[in-house]
Amino acid sequence: MIRILRNTVFPPGYSFLRPEAILVFVGLWELAAWLSPGWPSLIHEIFPILRSDFADAGFRQALLGSVRRMVIGYTLVMLLGVGGGVLFGRLPLVDQLLGSFAVAIHAIPGAAWVPLSILWFGMTEQAVIFTILLGAVGIVMVETDTGIREVPPFIRRAAQTMGARGVKYFWFVVVPAAIPKVVNGLRLAWAFGWRALMAGELLTSVGGLGQRLNQVAKTQQLDRLLALMLLISIIGILVDGLIFKRLEHEVRLRWGLT
Amino acid sequence: MQVDVQRVFKSFPHNGQRVDVLHDVSLTVKEGEFVCLLGPTGCGKSTIVHLIAGLEKPDRGSILIDGKPVAGPDPSRVVVFQDAALFPWLTVLGNVEFGLRMTGVPLRQRRARALEYLRLVHLSKFIHAYPHQLSGGMKQRVAIARALTLQPAILLLDEPFAALDAQTRAVLQNELLEIWELARPTILFVTHNVREATGLADRVYVISSRPGRIINTERIDVPRPRHAEDPRLLAHQHKILGLLGDEVEKVLQEELGERVHFPEAQHATPPDRSLGMHI
C-alpha cells in the first residue's frame, strides 16, 4: 500500500526533495539560530507558529484567499496562454504582427504589473488576478507558439507520407508534438504566477498570504515573517514538485527527450 | 506501380551557396520489383527517396509514378525511415493505426488491420508499449508494420536497418523479403551496405559520391532464398566494390581533408562492411 502510494507520488526515476537535503536545510538553520541569538529556531519557534497559524480561522481564510486567486489567475493563464500561443503558431501573419507583444509582456516581471493593475482595477481581487495573468501568460504563449511551429522534421515527414494533412495533421501531429513545450511553459508560468500573486497581495489590501507578510513586517515580528516565507516556499516547492515537475518528467520520458 | 526518375537534378542551400546533391539521375523501378540504391554516405540516396515520396521537388527533371508526375506525399508511397520516426506519444498500436486513421478507415477495421500487421512483424505482445520502451530493432518492426497497414503500392525504405546490430538486421532482412513475396509491393531500398544490397535486390543501382550520379546498375540474377556465401553474390559484391573504391576514397578525402589510399587488396576482405565505416 505504502509502496503503491509512493510510486504514484514519486514514480521510479523521478527525484524530488531528497530527505538528506531537508535534513541539511534544517541543520544549517538550527546552527544559525544557535550561533546568533536574534535568529529564531526552526523547530522550537517557527514550526509552533505555523501550527498555531493553521489553527487560526483568520489565517486559514487568508491562505484560502491566496489559493483562490491563484486558481482563477492560473486558469486564465492556461486558457489565454495556450489559446494565444496556438493562434500565433498557426497564423504566421498574426505572429509577425502581435507575437512581439507576447515577448514584451513576458519581459516585464509580475511585480511591475501591480501599479497598472491597481490603477485600472483599484485595490481589488481583480487587480491581483490581472497581475498573475500578465506576469505568467507571456511564457505560455511563447512556449506554445514555439512548440506548434517546431514540429520535428522526422515527425512531419513520417506524418505527411502517411496522408496526414489539414485539420487531422494539426490535431493528431502538431498538437501532441507541441505538448513538451506547452508543459514546460505551464510549469514556468506557475512559478511566475506564484511570485506575481505575492507581489499583488503585498501591494493591494485584498488579504492573502502576501498581505500577511506586510502586516508582520510592519510589526517587526521576524519569527512570524520567516514562518510565512517558509510556508510560501513550501507551497511553491510542493505544487511544482508534485504536479508540474512530475508532469514534465513523465512527458519528457514518453516523448523520448531524456 | 512503376517508378520513373528522369534526368533529375537537385541542390540544397548550404552556407549561402547551393550544393549539388543529385546530378542527372535517372532510374526505374518496375511494378513489384525489389531495387536497391547503393552508395557512399552523403551521396543523395535519401534525397531520391524524399523526391519519390513527394516530400521534396526536383530542381529539374521529373518523377513519374505509372507515367504521372508526383504532386506531393501520398499514402500509396510510404517511407520507412532510418530512425523509425515513430510518434513517441502513441503506443505501438496507435502508431500502426495512424495512417489508416488519417485516411479515414473506421476504428474497428483499422484496429483489425493493425493487429494483423503487428502479428506479421511478431509484435503482438507489445501493442500497448510506447516507442521509448522498445529496442532499435523493435522500433523498425513497428515502422514497417505502420507502413504496410496502408498496403502501399510502393514501399520506400531509407536505410531502415543501418542502425541495427548484424543479427537483428539479418532477421529483419529475411522478414522483409517474406513480406515482399506475400504482397509484392514495388520496393526501393536505400543502403550503403554492399552485402545487404546484393542479398536483397533484383537490381542494384550504384551511386557515386556527391553530387550523386548513377554509376552502374547491376542485375542480381540469383534465386531466393540466397545464401550469404553464394559465389555469384560474392562476384557481384566484388564488382560493385571495385566500382565504388574510388568513390569511397573521395568521400574520405572530402571529410578528412587528406588523401586516403585504398589498396586494391581491400576488396578481398569480407564485403559485409558499410561504405565509409572506416571513417
Look up residue B121 and give its amino acid. Answer: V
The residue assigned the cell 522550537 is A44
* Min distance A182 CA to chain B CA atoms (Å): 14
Is B142:B96 a contact under the CB 8 Å cutoff?
Answer: yes
A12 lies within 8 A of chain B by CB: no
The pLDDT of residue A156: 94
| Average pLDDT in chain A | 90
Whether the ipTM is more than 0.90: the answer is: no
The pLDDT of residue A19: 83
Can you give the residue ranges of every domain in chain B? Answer: 3-76+152-268
Residues of A in contact with B99 (CB under 8 A): 162-163
* CA pair distance A170, A142, nearest whole angstrom: 18
Is A216:A171 a contact under the CB 8 Å cutoff?
Answer: no
Residue A13: pLDDT band (50, 70, 90) is low
Residue A256: pLDDT band (50, 70, 90) is confident
Shortest CB distance from A161 goes to which of B77, B101, B132? B77
pLDDT digits (tens, 9 = 90+) for B26-42: 999 999 999 999 988 77
Residues of A in contact with B158 (CB under 8 A): none
The pLDDT of residue A257: 82
The pLDDT of residue B266: 46
The pLDDT of residue A101: 83
Residues of B in contact with A167 (CB under 8 A): none
Give the A:B interface size as CB pairs under 8 Å.
73
Residue B265: pLDDT band (50, 70, 90) is very low
Residues of B in contact with A172 (CB under 8 A): 98, 101-102
Say if residue A218 is exposed, middle or buried (CB neighbours under 10 Å; 0-12, 13-18, 19+): exposed
The pLDDT of residue B272: 57
Where is mean pLDDT largest: A203-207, B91-95, B254-258?
B91-95
Mean pLDDT of A199-213: 90
Is B151:B116 a contact under the CB 8 Å cutoff?
Answer: no
Given a cut of 80, is residue A6 above it in pLDDT? no
Give CATH for domain B3-76+152-268.
3.40.50.300
Cell numbers describing residue B263: 589498396
Share of chain A above pLDDT 90, in %: 71
| Average pLDDT in chain B | 87
The pLDDT of residue A67: 95
* CA pair distance B147, B53, nearest whole angstrom: 13
The pLDDT of residue A37: 84
Minimum Cα–Cα distance from A176: chain B residue: B89
Answer whether A158 sits within 8 Å of B88, measured CB to CB. Answer: no
Mean pLDDT of A134-156: 93
Given a cut of 90, is residue A31 above it in pLDDT? yes
Residues of B in contact with A154 (CB under 8 A): 81, 83, 85
More confident call, A84 vs B210:
A84
Cell numbers describing residue B33: 520489383
* CA pair distance B106, B102, nearest whole angstrom: 10
Answer whether B88 sits within 8 Å of A255, measured CB to CB. Answer: yes
Residue B15: pLDDT band (50, 70, 90) is confident
Element (H, E) at B60: strand B60-65
Given a cut of 70, is residue B197 above it in pLDDT? yes
Answer whether A160 sits within 8 Å of B103, measured CB to CB. Answer: no
* CA pair distance B64, B46, nearest whole angstrom: 17
pLDDT digits (tens, 9 = 90+) for A53-112: 999 999 999 999 999 999 999 999 999 999 999 999 888 888 888 878 888 888 899 999
- Residue A21 CB contacts under 8 Å (≥ 6 apart), including other chains: none
Sorted by where each starts, the structural domains of chain A and their CATH numbers stand as 17-55 (no CATH), 59-254 (1.10.3720.10)
A176 lies within 8 A of chain B by CB: yes
